[in-house]
């Protein structure tokens, strides 16, 4: 089945990349101060935002739909070449604006000593990341998942070796790691783009294709921007309202929480093409609903495991007290990511009916809510306020997306029940580790933490058992074990 084959390859790529990332993370946690970690995270966050602006939503939103619908190779080449041209022009303009913004940095972000170096790093990562993204995305939509996996794994291993070696033997700090990562991304991007060169024919640039891509994609640029704000605005507000140290602590919690995203990213690389190719089948809505339940259950288990066990792992690496409350923040970051995926990716109606402006509206509402909550909660609750703000805004976007999507293309999923379960378990796991709680789990034995984890996992997974069994995956898994 194409979905499972592509899921396997994309999962291998993302698991491999994340695995070497997790190997790198302990070294960074041990050798970096929270301020240094915060600097690196902030640069990467801002570079991601600038890359979104530069790509103009063409490579990730417009190109896939027109590429799949194109009937012959020449038409595909025309759309691909036009997408490369628009994206390249957009990234060039954004890079210029980044460098021009240097004088404004000290007014908006605390603790940046060399603003020009700061913006230069953002511009460098923006360019290399965009270049790499366009090529790797074409590998995905031309169904070359195995090559995508190969390039991604080699990039990850090379970057990790450079990072670990540079930190331990050369004394690199955030700036050195960022520069090395940009060079590796440039190499991987060159490989990916060369691999899809048969689709690139700039002689086939077309004004009509530019108009078609722009009319479909550019409204979705707002969707990409608001989606970024929904998930990543917290680090920018933390840097502006508190300090780079707070950004660093939050980023370590985010690194632990991203294990969940690693587990599911391969699935969602394959999910988009799978939905667009199968939604006409009568059994499709019921199948999508079962996968929704499976994903909800996996997410709740991730909230419990990562939320309860992320803190002990980090404190083993850095027992100086900087990260002692990190277990309070991790569940909120995981739940924010989970709600983002459930609300957005499992709401196929707007894409199927080509009414994607509904997603733009959803994320505009969510992003505005996220900004307001971050601005309100961070001064009062600090890092916890940032986590709560992200979860709340993702929840709002998820509710809106599910309501609209089910009106356009009904899927019988139990999204209200799933969202409620996620919030309940997030609150329990987070509150159980807060210092104000009398029975704080951090003060109890290892056996007690294991017992609580097992009980919560059972309570969180039982309501989804029937749906998971209906997918047939449970039978396959138990059959292999037996």
Contact call for residues 404 and 423 (beta carbons, < 8 A): no
User: CA 311, 313, 315 angle in degrees (round to 5)?
Assistant: 70
**pLDDT tens-digit series, residues 138-172:** 887 777 778 888 898 899 889 999 999 999 999 99
**pLDDT tens-digit series, residues 301-350:** 999 999 999 999 898 888 887 888 899 999 999 999 999 889 888 998 98
Contact call for residues 418 and 402 (beta carbons, < 8 A): no
| 478: pLDDT strictly greater than 60 | no
| 3: pLDDT strictly greater than 60 | no
HEC string of the chain equals CHHHHHHHHHHHHHHHHHHHHHHHHHHHHHHCCHHHHHHHHHHHHHHHHHHHHHHCCHHHHHHHHHHHHCCCHHHHHHHHHHHHHHHHHHHHHHHHHHHHCHHHHHHHCCCCCCHHHHHHHHHHHHHHHHHHHHHHHHHHHCCCHHHHHHHHHHHHHHHHHHHHHHHHHHCCCHHHHHHHHHHHHHHHHHHHHHHCHHHCCHHHCCHHHHHHHHHHHHHHHHHHHHHHHHHHHHHHHHHHHCCHHHHHHHHHHHHHHHHHHHHHHHHHHHHHHHHHHHCCCCCHHHHHHHHHHHHHHHHHHHHHHHHHHHHHHHHHHCCCCCCCCHHHHHHHHHHHHHHHHHHHCCCCHHHHCCCCHHHHHHHHHHHHHHHHHHHHHHHHHCHHHHHHHHHHHHHHHHHHHHHHHHHHCCCCCCHHHHHHHHHHHHHHHHHCCCCCCCCCHHHCCHHHHHHHHHHHHHHHHHHHHHHHHHHCHHHHHHHHHC
In whole angstroms, what is the distance from residue 99 CA to residue 476 CA? 54
Average of pLDDT values for 258-272? Answer: 78
Average of pLDDT values for 289-306? Answer: 93
Per-chain mean pLDDT for the chain: 87
| 362: pLDDT strictly greater than 70 | yes
| 480: pLDDT strictly greater than 50 | no
**pLDDT tens-digit series, residues 44-75:** 999 999 999 999 888 888 888 788 777 788 88
Cβ atoms < 10 Å from Cβ of 281: 10
**pLDDT tens-digit series, residues 450-476:** 999 999 999 999 988 887 777 665 555
Q: What is the pLDDT of residue 22?
A: 73
**pLDDT tens-digit series, residues 186-215:** 999 999 999 988 888 877 777 888 888 888
Which structure tokens are listed for 112?
């940046």
Q: What is the pLDDT of residue 192?
A: 93
Determine the distance from the C-alpha atom of residue 30 to the mean position of all C-alpha atoms in its chain, rounded to a whole number. 25
Q: What is the pLDDT of residue 15?
A: 62
Note the residue count of the chain: 482
| 34: pLDDT strictly greater than 80 | yes
Cβ atoms < 10 Å from Cβ of 335: 32
Average of pLDDT values for 119-127? Answer: 97
Q: Tokens 């965009």 correspond to what residue?
A: 130
Which structure tokens are listed for 371?
């900004």
- Under the banding of pLDDT at 50, 70 and 90, the label for residue 357 is confident
What are the phi and psi torsion angles at 183 (to 5°)?
-65, -40
């Amino acid at each position: 089945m194409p979905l499972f084959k592509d899921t396997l390859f994309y999962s291998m790529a993302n698991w491999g990349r994340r695995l070497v990332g997790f190997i790198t993370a302990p070294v960074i946690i041990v050798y970096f101060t929270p301020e240094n970690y915060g600097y690196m995270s902030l640069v990467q966050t801002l570079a991601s935002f600038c890359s979104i602006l530069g790509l103009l939503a063409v490579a990730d939103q417009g190109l896939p739909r027109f590429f799949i619908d194109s009937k012959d190779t020449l038409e595909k080449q025309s759309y691909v070449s036009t997408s490369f041209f628009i994206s390249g022009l957009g990234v060039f303009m954004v890079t210029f604006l980044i460098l021009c913004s240097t004088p404004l940095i000290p007014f908006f972000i605390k603790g940046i000593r060399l603003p020009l170096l700061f913006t230069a790093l953002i511009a460098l990562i923006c360019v290399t990341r965009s270049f790499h993204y366009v090529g790797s995305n074409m590998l995905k939509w031309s169904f070359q998942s195995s090559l995508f996996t190969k390039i991604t794994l080699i990039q990850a291993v090379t970057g990790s070796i450079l990072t670990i070696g540079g930190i331990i033997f050369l004394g690199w700090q955030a700036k050195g790691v960022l520069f090395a990562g940009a060079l590796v991304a440039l190499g991987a991007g060159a490989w990916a783009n060369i691999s899809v060169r048969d689709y690139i024919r700039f002689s086939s640039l077309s004004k009509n294709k530019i108009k078609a891509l722009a009319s479909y994609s550019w409204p979705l640029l707002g969707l990409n921007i608001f989606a970024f704000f929904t998930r990543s605005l917290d680090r920018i507000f933390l840097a502006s309202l508190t300090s780079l140290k707070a950004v660093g602590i939050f980023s370590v919690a985010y690194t632990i929480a991203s294990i969940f995203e690693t587990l599911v990213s391969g699935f969602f690389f394959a999910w988009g093409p799978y939905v667009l190719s199968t939604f006409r089948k009568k059994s499709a809505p019921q199948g999508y609903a079962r996968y929704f339940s499976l994903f909800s259950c996996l997410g709740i288990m991730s909230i419990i495991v990562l939320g309860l066990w992320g803190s002990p792992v980090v404190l083993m690496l850095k027992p100086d007290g900087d990260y002692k409350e990190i277990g309070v923040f991790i569940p909120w970051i995981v739940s924010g990511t989970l709600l983002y995926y459930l609300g957005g990716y499992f709401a196929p109606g707007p894409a199927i009916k080509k009414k994607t402006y509904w997603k733009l509206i959803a994320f505009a509402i969510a992003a505005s809510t996220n900004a307001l909550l971050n601005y309100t909660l961070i001064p009062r609750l600090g890092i916890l306020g940032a986590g709560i703000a992200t979860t709340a805004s993702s929840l709002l976007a998820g509710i809106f997306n599910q309501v609209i999507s089910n009106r356009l293309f009904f899927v019988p999923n139990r999204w209200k029940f799933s969202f409620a379960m996620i919030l309940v378990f997030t609150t329990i796991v987070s509150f159980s580790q807060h210092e104000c709680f009398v029975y704080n789990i951090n003060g109890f034995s290892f056996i007690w933490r294991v017992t609580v984890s097992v009980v919560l996992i059972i309570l969180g997974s039982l309501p989804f058992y029937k749906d998971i069994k209906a997918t047939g995956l449970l039978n396959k898994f138990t059959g292999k074990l037996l």
